[in-house]
Amino acid sequence: MGKVSSVYSMCGMCAVRCPIRVEVEDGVVRWIEGNPHEPGLRGSICAKGSAGVAFEYDSERPQYPMIRDGERGSGTWKKATWDEALDYIAEKLKDVIKKYGSKAIALSDRSGPFTDLTTSFLKALGSPNYFNHDDTCAKNVDMACRSLFGFKGRGDFSYDFTNTKHIILYARNVFESLQVKEVNNILDALDKGAKLTYMDCRATVTASKADRFFMIRPGTTYAINLALINVILKERLYDIDFVNRMTTGLTELESFVAPYTPEWAEKESGIPAQEIINLARDVSNDKPKVIFHPGWMLSRHTNSFYDSRAIYILNVLMGNIETKGGLIVAKGPADAGRKPLNSLGAKIPDVKDKIVDAEMKDKPFGTGHVVNLYKAIKTGEPYSIKAYFAYRYDPIASLPDPEAQKKVLNNLDLLVSIDVNYSQTGWYSDVILPESTYLERSNIIGTVKGSKPSFVMRRQAIAPRFDSKPAWEIFTLIAEKMGASQYFPYKSIEDIWNYQLEGTGVKIEDFNARGSVSLAKDPIFKDRNELKFKTPSGKIEFVSQELTKSGFESFKQYEAPLKPEKGKFRLIFGRSAVHTHAQSQNNIYLNEIMPENVLWINEKEAKDLGINDGDIVEVSSDGFSGTIKAKVTPYIHPEAVFMVHGFGNEIPLKTRSYKKGLSDNKFQIGLLEKTDPVGGGVAFNECFVSIKKG
Ligand SMILES: Nc1nc2c(c(=O)[nH]1)N[C@H]1C(S)=C(S)[C@@H](COP(=O)(O)OP(=O)(O)OC[C@H]3O[C@@H](n4cnc5c(=O)[nH]c(N)nc54)[C@H](O)[C@@H]3O)O[C@H]1N2
Ligand SMILES: Nc1nc2c(c(=O)[nH]1)N[C@H]1C(S)=C(S)[C@@H](COP(=O)(O)OP(=O)(O)OC[C@H]3O[C@@H](n4cnc5c(=O)[nH]c(N)nc54)[C@H](O)[C@@H]3O)O[C@H]1N2
Ligand code: SF4
Ligand SMILES: [Mo]
């Protein structure tokens, strides 16, 4: 046996970024497990995390910088040195700046604990145009959270699953669309007798573990929520003292929900009125130790903002804010009496220009919506965007309608993808810059908020296998070529770490023992009756001043979702426990477990269409169609069909997944511009398809 070392780092197989311990022998990764020092993790990782070894030793990923050598998307590339590729980028950027100003440069990334690097990079170039993926994920939830609590988003709460008595999940498939720590905590709670209520249009693994499962009509959770609030207020089942003390707008809420009875909700959702009443009474008995999880999936209809808002309101009515077993306000370093990390952008002058969607007409609540970035690229309004970096982000695979997107992206003078895989966006770019993998690089230090805030470090475990670079170096080199090296003066990751940690009392060596540094000895709890929220009133605003000011209502009348015509179905989607979005389908292990997706269809509907389990069926929407195997099952609502997202790869260099399965995004034609009008989230679920035997 060679020399074995152990490195604490962070998994990179999905955006959850679980803490890991990596075992390295003679420079080769032999073993990856969950960081045993992390109490919630207890050494576990998921299948995708374990398959990190297969990802690392795969050669079907970018191995050197590549510059397009043909039409966009033609798939013909020139191998380039880093100097050539970065010179090419710098030259284009300088041209763009000369013609349109620095604000014509945009970047989007996956968000998370390391965005200080990308936002500071843009600041150094003089652009305000930073975006993340959230319009396609949980933007409506974030905006709902902001409207009630004044918080930035859902991340300002953590959930105390371990101590809760009742968890209510709305299309939040926790056991497949997973986060390892959350799964462990929920299983612990269930072991201790907590109840689980789950609503989905389909019976998932999570449904199989639930005490109550509602197979609900697509798009109707809002009806259930309005009826729950109705019962809870009418029967005075809420935490009266907390609500009176901490909220504004209760009277308005009461009169708004009055017509939304359980009997009415039954007609909308298909869930019996008595079940809704029972749920309301049951959770109220368990309050405040209950968690209504605001989920993500509710983010994908046109009523999702108000639906998510209703879920937060239910939490508040339970008085579960800042209580054990409820929603805990996430604490940052300052709450622990500690100095936060220095921002890499702290010494860079502020950018004068406003982000491109700040002055758009008909825009949703807040700014930084990536769909608005697309609008600006398309129309040049309110000003032109001509250069776009997609860093750790694959919009062509994750926003609707790839073909419509490509037309928009053709307006760019420069499109750069910085990725560890060949992504769909990379394949359409002018330049692909390969980042070193999460096992081959270190990141800037990140802050993780929670009841015990901490600083976290992703640390290089092995040398890069190919001619790749870590993001911090890529952005430093571009800044240098753009004449902004005074703002990015770093020569090594240690330079960056030392600068970030200055004055915090934490040193680089402090991460050696367990990979992170906790900033508080014990969980920080505040007195829930003394909480000051970041809303204009300092209270939880059922009637939101900020919404009113932006011209939006605080309560939205229910509108029934469209019912598909005969022979048509609403296309819904979600994850598998063994894949990450569109990035893992070519992984040699994960591909073996799940090489392609199938189409779930209700057995009665299938029978009418003459479709048997395992038949090949044709799925079509507005001019696009494809074939896929049918999974005929009683466990999906008859109005919906379902497929796992992320398949149908069209990049020949990924040979194992090439043309396997179908991409849900391709059916979502016209949805690039269909969003929740207030939250701004993409209304992916407004997609209808026809099915026939193939
Ligand atoms: N139709 C449809 N659309 C969807 C969804 C759906 O289910 N159906 N899901 C939505 C949701 S919830 C989300 S969050 C988004 C996700 O959409 P994205 O954020 O685009 O997806 P990811 O797979 O997280 O990763 C994006 C890219 O990052 C790359 N990457 C991974 N690790 C690294 C790294 O260490 N460095 C670099 N530079 N790149 C890396 C991956 O190879 C991938 O190309 O998609 C959304 N869009
Ligand atoms: N294995 C794995 N885990 C992941 C990820 C991954 O890629 N792979 N990605 C992570 C990310 S970025 C996210 S956002 C989360 C997503 O976590 P979730 O939102 O929990 O996951 P999804 O699988 O996208 O969707 C959950 C369910 O929504 C249901 N659904 C669809 N439409 C409707 C509807 O109208 N009403 C109701 N009631 N249900 C509906 C689908 O049937 C599906 O089972 O997962 C995270 N965890
Ligand atoms: S959930 Fe799995 S893939 Fe995602 S970071 Fe954790 S171990 Fe890695
Ligand atoms: Mo997501």
Contacts of 509 (CB under 8 A, 6+ apart): none
pLDDT greater than 80 at residue 1: no
Using a pLDDT cut of 70, give the percent of the chain over it. 100
Local structure of residue 347 (DSSP, 8 states): T
Three-state secondary structure call for residue 377:
helix
Using a pLDDT cut of 90, give the percent of the chain over it. 97
The pocket around ligand 1, CB under 6 angstroms, is made up of 12, 15, 110, 133, 136-137, 296, 391-394, 398, 418-421, 423, 435, 438, 573, 580-583, 645, 664-665, 668, 684
Place of tokens 């009461």: 254
Q: Per-residue pLDDT tens for 61-116?
A: 999 999 999 999 999 999 999 999 999 999 999 999 999 999 999 999 999 999 99
CA distance 572 to 555: 26
Contacts of 576 (CB under 8 A, 6+ apart): 176, 594, 597, 644
Three-state secondary structure call for residue 145:
helix
Q: Which two tokens stand for residue 238?
A: 């809420």
Q: Which helix (H) or strand (E) holds 22?
A: strand 19-25
Does 663 sit in the ligand 2 pocket, CB within 6 Å?
A: no
Q: Per-residue pLDDT tens for 553-598?
A: 999 999 999 999 988 999 999 999 999 999 999 999 999 999 999 9
Looking at the whole model, is its pTM more than 0.95? Answer: yes
pLDDT greater than 70 at residue 660: yes
CA distance 481 to 580: 35
Q: Which of 404, 391, 366 is nearest to 674 (CA)?
A: 404
The backbone torsions φ and ψ at residue 334, rounded to the nearest 5 degrees and listed phi first, read -60, -35
Going from the Cα of 580 to the center of ligand 4, the distance in angstroms, rounded, reads 10
Which residues share a beta bridge with 290?
Answer: 166
> What's the distance, CA 151 to chain centroid?
17
CA distance 170 to 162: 19
The pick from 55, 419, 428 for probing ligand 1's pocket by mutation, whose C-beta has the most ligand atoms within 8 angstroms, reads: 419
Amino acid (one-letter) located at 428: Y
The pocket around ligand 3, CB under 6 angstroms, is made up of 11, 13-14, 16-18, 45-46, 48-49, 178-180
State how beta strands 66-68 and 431-434 pair. Answer: antiparallel
State how beta strands 66-68 and 28-34 pair. Answer: unpaired
Local structure of residue 14 (DSSP, 8 states): S
Asked if 434 contacts 498 with a C-beta cutoff of 8 angstroms, the reply is: no
Amino acid (one-letter) located at 403: E
Question: How confident is the model at residue 567, as a pLDDT?
Answer: 86
Asked whether the bond before 382 is cis by omega within 30 degrees of 0, the reply is yes
